[in-house]
């Protein structure tokens, strides 16, 4: 085994995909899985085959990668700088059914200009800030202004709003999460009421991550879920209440030396395992992985049975920042 | 500009390369720059053209990448699992003048077997632990045993020892660094004496990182320096006493929204900037970059003059873990 290597447990992945689809279907909403956690057309195809209506992406590069892989129904969930509008219109011209979020009239104008120049139409959602403070519009009045700009633009179709509550995903207390969610949905409802009153009703209302999907699915007015982490999972999400998906992504690493009682050296370091959310854990052993350099790590805990050459599975604390350190995921 | 993007300041890179070469030349030792921080045949070629005798790499994959780029004199500085020996011999058969470090007779046996099968000879150094606790042999007696195994092997050439003092690179106190270095070199000297006594003298004695290069160059017996971070630099090394190289690698990021007084949103997140050694800093502004998700970050500080669309330069806290998040470096 050429470790360190990122591997996927196919049956676990499929079980996760099926479970989230059932959640969406039972609530009567559509599912648009976020692909930023796997960045893989192969995984996205499995999600579409299971019933998803399209996928969400976080960057222009991800959109291009998935389009190359044959995935055409894409929503770019990040607000982009006006300077990228031409590139985005180019993706639409290349065959993508591409949706964008906008947060200022300046971005709307840049998108409209680029779409007009390319002869394409773009679907646009107003990005609402419902508590995350990541660039969305903060008031119902501002939402109406951006929506009006979209509706008045010649090459844009106003489709609705995005109300992603990313600030609630990591909360470890279920009651705190529920209270935060109610507050976020109140902000969403206020914006939706203002848009209706202005004659600009939202057809699509997209929101939710893996931890808030059940709450969002139950909120009247929400039409689409966009969770991502449920597909591959990680140790951080696995520790959250009510999040019951199977771990499907592992980093294989090889023991290279025994350092002492309860400590071994392995060949996975900070360039094989994402560390932004803390140490990884060892699968099926009461032990943790700690970084010991770019290409070295130490396992601490119940590792007395391990010898040089043994291969173990690490569960990353954050799969998103681990996946990007490895070649693109493909069929196991 | 398609941000986030990693860019290199060519003149700063060349100045750093020249300065380290002068340090080595003045001390009468050879320079084998570590390529793990840049992973780029283009940068390695500049280092060789300036006088380096070869490069060091941390992984089999890095060795393969540099070999593809025409760089053939390579030292793999990490101890590898015995199972990778065949792959390493394959690189030698493909034209690499490849050196390895070994820490156990089992690894020596695996390397010898693979080299014999491929009909190649491999240069092997004994990996000494001089305080880092990352798998090297811990006693002069163990060093002699591994060296003897190499000398007795049919397809291996005993070349000397590696005594990397990685545990000293990050120390912020110069006196503490010097004291630690003296202790590390005492361990090296004890191993070298035992090897001489056993009739297995070390021709090559390779050691040093960017922070310890002046100390190592001045130590009698050291023949080769293997620092890496000096080429591109980062904010962590820039804060260390006596480390006076220019910042040569930057992440360009675009402002996407103004969040409030002294805070703006940018399009670089944890998948564009390594965070294992803390937040990045903004070049030429009294401000820091903090992660706000995979693809979002917040600049805090003197950012009142920034508007959406403005592009700023970030100085990563750790270039090694930032470089791997971007396409391979090439000529600016």
Say what the pLDDT of residue A251 is.
98
CA nearest to A62 within chain B: B295
Nearest to A293 among B103, B134, B271 (CB): B134
Q: Which 8-state DSSP code applies to residue A274?
A: -
Say what the pLDDT of residue B82 is.
78
With cut-offs at 50, 70 and 90, classify the pLDDT of residue A179.
very high
The two beta strands, B297-301 and B287-291, are: antiparallel
The alpha-carbon gap from A70 to the nearest alpha carbon of chain B, in Å, equals 22
Say what the pLDDT of residue B113 is.
96
How far is B37 from B33, CA to CA, in rounded Å?
10
CB of B261 less than 8 A from some CB of A: no
Which chain A residues are Cβ-neighbours of B76 within 8 angstroms? none
Identify any residues that bridge with B247 across adjacent strands, giving them in sequence order. Answer: none
Of A73, A79, A91, the residue nearest A32 (C-alpha): A73
pLDDT in tens, B34-55: 999 999 999 999 999 999 999 9
Of A108, A66, A72, the residue nearest A92 (C-alpha): A72
Q: Which of residues 135-164 of A touch B (CB under 8 A)?
A: 135
How far is A241 from A171, CA to CA, in rounded Å?
9
Expressed in angstroms, the distance from the first to the final Cα of chain B is 14
With cut-offs at 50, 70 and 90, classify the pLDDT of residue B2.
confident
CB of B294 less than 8 A from some CB of A: yes
Say what the pLDDT of residue A57 is.
97
B92, pLDDT greater than 70: yes
Which one has a higher pLDDT value, B83 or A171? A171
Nearest to B87 among A2, A134, A296 (CB): A2
The alpha-carbon gap from B316 to the nearest alpha carbon of chain A, in Å, equals 14
Mean pLDDT of all residues in A219-234: 98
Nearest to B79 among A3, A256, A276 (CB): A256
A232, pLDDT greater than 70: yes
Q: What is the mean pLDDT of chain A?
A: 96
Of A131, A119, A124, the residue nearest A104 (C-alpha): A124
Q: Which 8-state DSSP code applies to residue A329?
A: P
The alpha-carbon gap from B180 to the nearest alpha carbon of chain A, in Å, equals 19
Say what the pLDDT of residue B239 is.
93
Say what the pLDDT of residue A205 is.
98
SS3 B257: strand
Q: How far is CA B199 from CA A323, B144, B146, B149, B158, in A?
A: 49, 9, 13, 13, 12
Cα three-residue angle A280-A267-A278, rounded to 5 degrees: 20
Q: The tokens of B122 are what?
A: 């491999």
Chains A and B form CB pairs within 8 A to the count of 118
Say what the pLDDT of residue B23 is.
98
Identify any residues that bridge with A215 across adjacent strands, giving them in sequence order. Answer: none
How far is B240 from B232, CA to CA, in rounded Å?
15
Say what the pLDDT of residue B162 is.
98
Say what the pLDDT of residue A166 is.
96
Say what the pLDDT of residue A3 is.
93
Cβ–Cβ gap B296/A106 under 8 Å: no
Say what the pLDDT of residue A2 is.
86
SS3 A11: helix
Q: The tokens of A11 are what?
A: 């049956």
Cβ–Cβ gap A1/B58 under 8 Å: no
Cβ–Cβ gap B325/A324 under 8 Å: yes
Say what the pLDDT of residue A277 is.
95
Mean pLDDT of all residues in A132-140: 94
Give the predicted TM-score (pTM) of the model: 0.93
Q: Which of residues 89-108 of B touch A (CB under 8 A)?
A: 103-104, 106
Of B260, B277, B281, the residue nearest B268 (C-alpha): B281
How far is B318 from B235, CA to CA, in rounded Å?
7
Q: What is the mean pLDDT of chain B?
A: 96
pLDDT in tens, A69-120: 999 999 999 988 778 888 989 999 999 999 999 999 999 999 999 999 999 9
Interface probe for A, chosen from B91, B127, B164, B308 (most Cβ of A below 10 Å), is B308
Say what the pLDDT of residue A315 is.
98
Cβ–Cβ gap A134/B80 under 8 Å: no
Cβ–Cβ gap A59/B295 under 8 Å: yes
pLDDT in tens, B199-256: 999 999 999 999 999 999 999 999 999 999 999 999 999 999 999 999 999 999 999 9
Cβ–Cβ gap B2/A87 under 8 Å: yes
CB of B5 less than 8 A from some CB of A: no
H helix runs in B5-137, sequence order: 10-27, 41-49, 60-68, 85-93, 105-118
CA nearest to B259 within chain A: A135
B29, pLDDT greater than 70: yes
CB of B131 less than 8 A from some CB of A: no
pLDDT in tens, A40-54: 999 999 999 999 999
With cut-offs at 50, 70 and 90, classify the pLDDT of residue B128.
very high
The alpha-carbon gap from A220 to the nearest alpha carbon of chain B, in Å, equals 28
Which chain A residues are Cβ-neighbours of B83 within 8 angstroms? 1, 254, 309
Cβ–Cβ gap A270/B60 under 8 Å: no
DSSP per residue, B133-194? -SS-B-SHHHHHHHHHHHHHSSSEEEEEEE---GGGTT-S-HHHHHHHHHHHHHHHHHHHHH
With cut-offs at 50, 70 and 90, classify the pLDDT of residue B332.
low
**Interface pTM, i.e. ipTM:** 0.91
CA nearest to A275 within chain B: B276
Q: What percent of chain A has pLDDT over 90?
A: 93
How far is A105 from A89, CA to CA, in rounded Å?
17
Say what the pLDDT of residue A1 is.
72
Element (H, E) at A110: helix A105-118
Say what the pLDDT of residue B79 is.
85
Mean pLDDT of all residues in B77-92: 88
Cβ–Cβ gap B82/A321 under 8 Å: no
Cβ–Cβ gap B259/A135 under 8 Å: yes
The alpha-carbon gap from B192 to the nearest alpha carbon of chain A, in Å, equals 23
B98, pLDDT greater than 80: yes
Interface probe for B, chosen from A295, A306, A311, A327 (most Cβ of B below 10 Å), is A295
Q: What are the two backbone dihedrals, phi and then psi, of residue A216, each rounded to the nearest 5 degrees?
A: -65, -40
CA nearest to B84 within chain A: A2
DSSP per residue, A65-88? HHHHTT--EEEE-S---GGGHHHH
The alpha-carbon gap from B61 to the nearest alpha carbon of chain A, in Å, equals 9
Q: Which of residues 60-89 of B touch A (CB under 8 A)?
A: 60, 78-84, 87
Mean pLDDT of all residues in A167-194: 97
With cut-offs at 50, 70 and 90, classify the pLDDT of residue B189.
very high
């Amino acid at each position: 085994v050429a470790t360190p290597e990122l591997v996927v447990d196919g049956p676990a992945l499929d079980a996760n995909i099926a479970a989230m689809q059932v959640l969406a279907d039972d609530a009567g909403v559509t599912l648009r899985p976020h692909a930023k956690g796997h960045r893989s057309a192969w995984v996205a195809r499995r999600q579409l085959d299971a019933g998803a209506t399209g996928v969400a992406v976080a960057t222009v590069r991800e959109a291009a990668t998935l389009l190359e892989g044959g995935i055409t129904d894409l929503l770019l969930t990040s607000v982009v700088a006006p300077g990228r509008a031409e590139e985005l219109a180019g993706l639409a011209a290349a065959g993508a059914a591409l949706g964008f979020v906008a947060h200022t009239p300046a971005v709307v104008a840049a998108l409209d200009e680029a779409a007009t120049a390319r002869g394409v139409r773009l679907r646009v959602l107003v990005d609402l800030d419902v508590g995350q403070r990541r660039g969305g519009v903060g008031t119902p009045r501002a939402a109406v202004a951006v929506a009006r700009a979209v509706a008045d633009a010649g090459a844009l179709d106003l489709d609705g709003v995005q109300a992603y509550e990313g600030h609630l995903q990591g909360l470890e207390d279920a009651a705190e999460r529920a209270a935060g969610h109610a507050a976020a949905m109140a902000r969403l409802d206020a914006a939706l009421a203002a848009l209706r009153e202005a004659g600009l009703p939202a057809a699509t209302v997209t929101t939710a991550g893996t931890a808030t999907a059940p709450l969002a699915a139950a909120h009247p007015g929400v039409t689409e879920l966009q969770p991502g982490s449920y597909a591959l999972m990680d140790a951080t999400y696995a520790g959250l209440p009510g999040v019951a998906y199977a771990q499907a992504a592992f980093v294989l690493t090889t023991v290279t030396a025994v350092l002492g009682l309860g400590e071994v050296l392995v060949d996975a370091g900070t360039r094989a395992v994402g560390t932004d959310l803390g140490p990884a854990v060892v699968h099926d052993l009461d032990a943790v992985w700690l970084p010991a350099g770019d290409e070295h790590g130490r396992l601490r805990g119940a590792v007395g049975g391990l010898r040089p050459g043994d291969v173990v599975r690490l569960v990353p604390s954050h799969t998103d920042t681990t996946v990007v350190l490895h070649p693109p995921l493909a069929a196991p």
